[in-house]
Amino acid sequence: MTDLGHVDGLLAPRSVAIIGASEDVTRIGGRPIAAMLKAGYKGDILPVNPKRDSVQGLACYASVDDLPMAPDAALIAVPAKLVPQTIEALGRKGCKAATLFSAGFAEMGAEGEAAQRELVALAGSYGMRLLGPNTLGVYNVDIGYYGSFSSSLDTGFPLAGNIGIASQSGAFGAHLGALARDRGLGSSILMTTGNEADITVADAIAWMAQNDATDVICTYMEAVNDAPALLRALDAARAAGKPVIALKSGRSVVGAAAAASHTASLTGDAVVADAVLTAHGAIIVRDPETMLDIAYVASKKIFPKQNSLGVITVSGGAGIVISDEAERIGFPMPPMPDEAQAHLNEVLPYGSPVNPLDCTAQALNDPSLLEVFTRAALQDGGYGAVLCFFTYVAGSPAMSDTIMQAMTPLRAAYPDRIIAFVALGAPEVLRSYDDQGILIFNDPCRATRAIHAICSMRDAVNVTAPDVTPLTLPDHTPDEATAKEILAQSGILSAPEQAVQSIEDAVAAADSFGYPVVMKILSPDILHKSDIGAVKLNLDDEGAVRLAYAEILGAASRHAPDAHISGILVAKQLSGGVECLMGINRDPAFGPMAVFGLGGIFVELLNDVAVRECPFDTVAAHEMISSIRGAAILKGARGQAPVDMDALAEMLSRLSIFAAGAGERLTSVDLNPVLALPQGAYALDAVIEVKEL
């Protein structure tokens, strides 16, 4: 288990010093003290301000040196120029965790960034960890610790609950916290990390993965500043059975530009981040409301085994709308078993017993129908989640007691299933259902989406990390033949081919493979061979091979007179099948990422690719391949034979293992095209780019 002692100091301190403490409860140095006093924080609050004897009724210390103890946490609310000496003093005193509210560092440009780096080094020299700078701080609801100056607290304290929030942006995190509170959702922790000079959201997630008060983790990030730590934290949360719901922003051109000018973040490739976070079990969302919808479902700690939805309505219309939404997002709604349908038909001849189940407005006259249908969906339908569109019927004061009595035993009898109502009515009525573990939504489609996010969690493929053997790459970017040889050593197949240095050898090679053949220039200096006419296809006989040999050399000497030519590649020309592409790109945060797509418009126009962190096994490779929109073409659409998916997945997995083994010097790999045949898959071209030694 990672040592997260420094986060203990930040999130659960037994004592806190406020440097720059203020009597004014609207000032940055006054707000945290006022909040902690109001919330009944049990630890020691130690104001530091050379100009005062007391602050908000507490004894005030003139300097850090004067503090009676080394505080677990320090909140630094002094101007940027005074921060270094404050950290110095805190370090000397023995404080190990400081929150830097002060702005004026990396978000201000290169100078600020340098100053920020110095702060981290200075703190590090004392074994002190820093949160911020430019952070709103943290809170820990259970212990009443409010190391934050967020004015969100002006509209009330958070409700206690099991949702933790880790946000790079302060105001955005505080907005999430306040939105949760206004919706009646309880939270445990809020940590905002600001410039992330040292501590990142990864630390917060890792800490919450171990925190008993937290069962669900919401996280917002603009940049991924410590990818390995983030992935470890996600894995720890998954191991602890705590869903992580992640909003990674900066996916648009405008958004990325805005991010760059904010908390000094470069957002990186959102597609890559989504892929990696998803592979590590995170649920990706785009907006705060959806984040809290899913967190709300997860907060009940019911994670059904079955990814299926049963729907019960008192209005056929709602059942149709929900079915439409479920199909759109891929949430299965299998029909009820025949026998159960027959039974429900007897109970209510003019309802609908299939799925959605409609007990019609008749339920108003006979509320027992609600129980009968809901029980049938749980017992006979076996759905992972049952969504009941009971609308104002459930909220009606005349009906709610009856419905509650009917549902309480069902809730107890099926503890592993989600039961949710779409219900409208007085807040206290709705809350009474929620208190019984019945989820309450007012919109059927939002409910469907949020429940699906939780029900489909277990569908995530559990991949085993394959063994990786370190490889040595050549000193320079290799030519195509060498690249293919290197890949062949990792089990990645090309078409039969031979590098030759003479016309006679070319003819001999072609004869041995059988016609037609392909011929290409071999040169590490010419990467785009087709563009200069140094690739010849459809060579059907010896004469064509001889002519091609001369033409290729001629083209090369015309277009690239200085290129080093190592020969000409003669390869058997494979045909039929489907052209794919595979490659490796290095992401600044996540390292080598494998890419898979179909050739042609699928990649170029539709951006229809799957990406995944390397290395991965064939199960993950299969999942990648099946995830692209054009996958139907591989499976034999348009009257074609299906391609050898196993061979394709094998190649993709081997490529990912190769990339992981090749290490930092591997810049990129481009296998384009890979020909996927009904039997086998072969790289027809291969480019490996390495960092030159």
- Closer CB to a second copy, 327 or 416, in the complex: 327
What minimum distance in Å lies between the beta carbon of 561 and a second copy? Answer: 26
Q: Which is nearer to a second copy, 333 or 581 (CB)?
A: 333
356, 371, 403, 418, 433 from 411: Cα distances, Å: 20, 11, 12, 9, 10
Q: Which of 288, 367, 583, 661 binds a second copy (CB under 8 A)?
A: 288
Least distance between a second copy and beta carbon 132 (Å): 13
396 lies in the binding site for a second copy (CB under 8 A): yes
- DSSP character for 630? T
Among 123, 128, 132, residue whose Cα is nearest residue 173: 132
Site pattern 169..208 for a second copy (x: CB under 8 A): xxxxxxx--xx--x--------------------------
Sign of the alpha-carbon dihedral angle for 477, 481, 483, 489 = negative
**How do 666-676 and 578-587 pair as beta strands?**
antiparallel
Stretch that binds a second copy, among 89-97, 195-203, 628-636, 668-676 (CB under 8 A): 628-636
Cβ–Cβ contacts within 10 Å for residue 597, how many? 24
Return the ∠ at Cα 173 (arms to 128 and 612), rounded to 5°.
85
Region from 8-16, 76-84, 310-318, 583-591 binding a second copy, contact rule CB under 8 A: 310-318
Distances 2 to 7, 196, 202, 206, 210 between C-alpha atoms, Å: 11, 19, 12, 8, 10
Query: Is residue 374 close enough to count as binding a second copy by CB under 8 A?
Result: no
Contacts of a second copy in 419-438 (CB under 8 A): 422, 424-426
CB of 580 to a second copy, least distance (A): 14
Q: Is 132 left (phi over 0), alpha (psi -120 to 50) or beta?
A: left
Q: Nearest approach, Cβ of 183 to a second copy (angstroms)?
A: 8
Contacts of 338 (CB under 8 A, 6+ apart): none
φ, ψ (nearest 5 deg) of residue 163: -100, 120
SS3 72: coil
User: Which one among 444, 524, 591, 597 touches a second copy, defined by CB under 8 A?
Assistant: 444
Please report, as a single letter, which amino acid is at residue 344: L
**Interface with a second copy in residues 315-344 (CB under 8 A):** 315-321, 323-328, 333
Strands of 97-100's sheet in order across: 44-48, 15-19, 73-76, 97-100, 129-131
DSSP 8-state class, residue 169 = S
Identity of the residue, 442 or 667, whose beta carbon is nearer to a second copy in the bound complex = 442
Which is closer to a second copy, CB of 110 or CB of 254?
Answer: 254
Minimal distance in Å, beta carbon 489 to a second copy?
35
The number of residues making up the chain comes to 693
Least distance between a second copy and beta carbon 537 (Å): 18
Interacting residue with a second copy among 398, 415, 459, 470 (CB under 8 A):
398
Cβ 467 to a second copy shortest distance, Å = 37
For the CA atoms of 44, 49, 52, 53, the dihedral, rounded to the nearest 10 degrees, stands at: 30
Q: How far is the CB of 155 from a second copy (least distance, A)?
A: 5
Residue in 128, 314, 578, 671 binding a second copy, rule: CB under 8 A: 314
What residues from 497 to 536 belong to the interface with a second copy (CB under 8 A)?
none
Q: Which of residues 592-621 bind a second copy (CB under 8 A)?
A: 601, 604-606
Question: Binding string, 82-121, against a second copy, x = CB under 8 A?
Answer: ---------------------x---xx-------------
3-state SS of 341-383?
HHHHHHHCCCCECCCCEECCCHHHHCCHHHHHHHHHHHHHHCC
As measured in angstroms, the least distance from the Cβ of 267 to a second copy is 8
Among 122, 266, 406, 445, binds a second copy (CB under 8 A): 445
| DSSP conformation letters of 317-342 | HHHHHHHHHHHHHT---PPPPHHHHH
Binders of a second copy among residues 345 to 364 (CB under 8 A) are 350, 352, 354-356, 358, 361, 364
- With CB under 8 A, what is the number of residues at the site for a second copy? 96
Residue 524: which residues within 8 A CB-CB, separation 6 or more?
476, 477, 478, 479, 564, 566
Give 41 or 389: the residue with its C-beta nearer to a second copy.
389
Structure tokens at 41: 């924080």
Q: Which of 167, 211, 214, 566 binds a second copy (CB under 8 A)?
A: 167
Query: Could you tell me the smallest distance in angstroms from the CB atom of residue 482 to a second copy?
Result: 30
Q: Considering only residues 227-286, where is the footprint of a second copy by CB under 8 A? A: 247, 249-259, 261-263, 267, 286
Q: Which is nearer to a second copy, 121 or 605 (by Cβ)? A: 605
Does residue 23 belong to the site contacting a second copy (CB under 8 A)?
Answer: no
Considering the complex, what minimum distance in angstroms separates the CB of residue 182 from a second copy?
A: 6
